Amino acid sequence: MAEQFFSYKGLPLVRKGNTIYYGDMSDKYVAVITILSTKKIKDLEIADKTRVQLMATDPAVPITEAIAKTGERGSLYDAIDVAGIWLSKNN
């Protein structure tokens, strides 16, 4: 049975701790979003600083050259929005 992942705008979205992988691993690039800090609003922890990286999925690419773009955003929504734009332009 194939695994089903949560998706956003048609692309898989997988979270492991404070790292979110956005995109399809069979494409040329995926976005890696790292939650750098959070703030508490009532009982919820909300991301208030994130790092977005566009990373090559080709295992032959050296890790030092795998990151094509990087940037920081405030909210998780802004980070996913930027990641979606980068993925649409580069895949």
Is the pLDDT reported for residue 43 higher than 70? yes
* Pairing of β 11-16 and β 19-22: antiparallel
* Pairing of β 44-56 and β 19-22: unpaired
Neighbouring C-beta atoms of residue 74, cutoff 10 Å: 11
Is the pLDDT reported for residue 5 higher than 60? yes
Instruction: Dump pLDDT digits (tens) for 45-72.
Output: 999 999 999 999 999 999 889 999 999 9
Type of residue at 20: I
Q: Which domain holds residue 46?
A: 7-90
Is residue 1 assigned to a domain?
no
**Mean of all residue pLDDT scores within the chain:** 92
If you count them, how many residues does the chain have?
A: 91
pLDDT value at position 4?
76
Is the pLDDT reported for residue 1 higher than 80? no
Task: Say how many domains are in the chain.
Answer: 1
Is residue 2 assigned to a domain?
no
